[in-house]
Amino acid sequence: MSRRHSRAGWIALALVAAACEPRPERPAQADILAARQAGLSFDGRLKREILDRLIREEDPVAVYLAYADHAPSWGKEISEAARFDFSRTALGVRNPANAPDDWERRQMETFNFLADAGQDPETFEAAEILQEGNETVFRWLRPVVMGETCMTCHGEAVNIPIKLLIAQEYPLDEGAGYSEGQLGGAYSVRKVLSVDGRPPPAYATRDLPARLPAAARQPGDAQLIEPEPQEAPP
């Protein structure tokens, strides 16, 4: 056999072997659409209840407190309605509880690379089926682009009273210093599809931590999260 024919034979074998390899499972279109709708639902609440108030030039501290008090419950409501975990994350988070896992971090780093290369962030989206331990899960991520009104709490020149409130609740804050147009984080969805190859248990949400009402807080001395009750000494 000539060298050229031998080389063609190896190429044919490689193509056959590649065709025989199992292909990654593709996410169901219904799950992708449900994840997109979850992100749009949160966007709608954010605009209607927070951003529009900033545009009307309402007190920024009051608007910040409204956001801090209610945004977690929006995510919980969306999760319960869709029966999957909807959350917000970022490479630099304000709340450590929102820190990204490895998959989320990789996707956001890719989004930032593509944005720096000049691609439109509005087109970015990641959707995969992954094996995480004994769970087969659907994962989805969409970046959030920082707008002008976002700068009130996440920009480089945050209002001093807001800065004091943030410093009290989030002393390790990494969610400020952004500029308009930057990728500020992402909406994330995680849905368990099966456990050990069997249908997953019924979806259950976690309770949110208790918070003091806004009327009980001041920028200088506000305690924003209800302290856990201490056991009485014996």
Model confidence at 232: pLDDT above 50: no
Please compute the mean of the pLDDT values over residues 195-215 and round it to a whole number.
80
At 20 the pLDDT is: 53
Q: What is the pTM for the complete model shown?
A: 0.79
Spatial separation of the C-alpha atoms in residues 128 and 126, rounded to whole Å: 7
Specify whether the CB–CB gap between 153 and 67 falls below 8 A.
yes
At 82 the pLDDT is: 96
At 180 the pLDDT is: 92
Q: Which amino acid is at 217?
A: R
At 217 the pLDDT is: 54
Taking CB atoms within 8 Å and a gap of at least 24, the contacts of 123-131 are 125/36, 127/27, 127/31, 127/32, 127/35, 128/24, 128/27, 128/103, 129/24, 129/25, 129/26, 129/27, 129/193, 130/103
| Residue-averaged pLDDT of the chain | 84
Please compute the mean of the pLDDT values over residues 73-80 and round it to a whole number.
94
* More reliable by pLDDT, 210 or 108: 108
φ/ψ region of 229 (left if φ > 0, alpha if ψ in -120 to 50, else beta) reads: beta
Residue boundaries of the structural domains of the chain? 25-201
At 149 the pLDDT is: 87
Q: Copy the structure tokens of residue 144.
A: 């959030």
pLDDT band at 233 (very low <50, low <70, confident <90, very high): very low
Please compute the mean of the pLDDT values over residues 41-45 and round it to a whole number.
94
46-69: pLDDT as tens digits: 998 888 988 888 888 888 888 888
pLDDT band at 214 (very low <50, low <70, confident <90, very high): low
152-179: pLDDT as tens digits: 999 998 989 898 888 888 888 999 999 9
- Bridge pairing between strands 183-195 and 85-89: antiparallel
The set of residues, in sequence order, having a beta carbon less than 8 Å from that of 197 and lying 6+ positions away, is 136
At 143 the pLDDT is: 97
Please compute the mean of the pLDDT values over residues 211-234 and round it to a whole number.
47
Rg (Cα) of the chain, in Å, rounded?
Answer: 23
At 230 the pLDDT is: 45
φ/ψ region of 83 (left if φ > 0, alpha if ψ in -120 to 50, else beta) reads: left
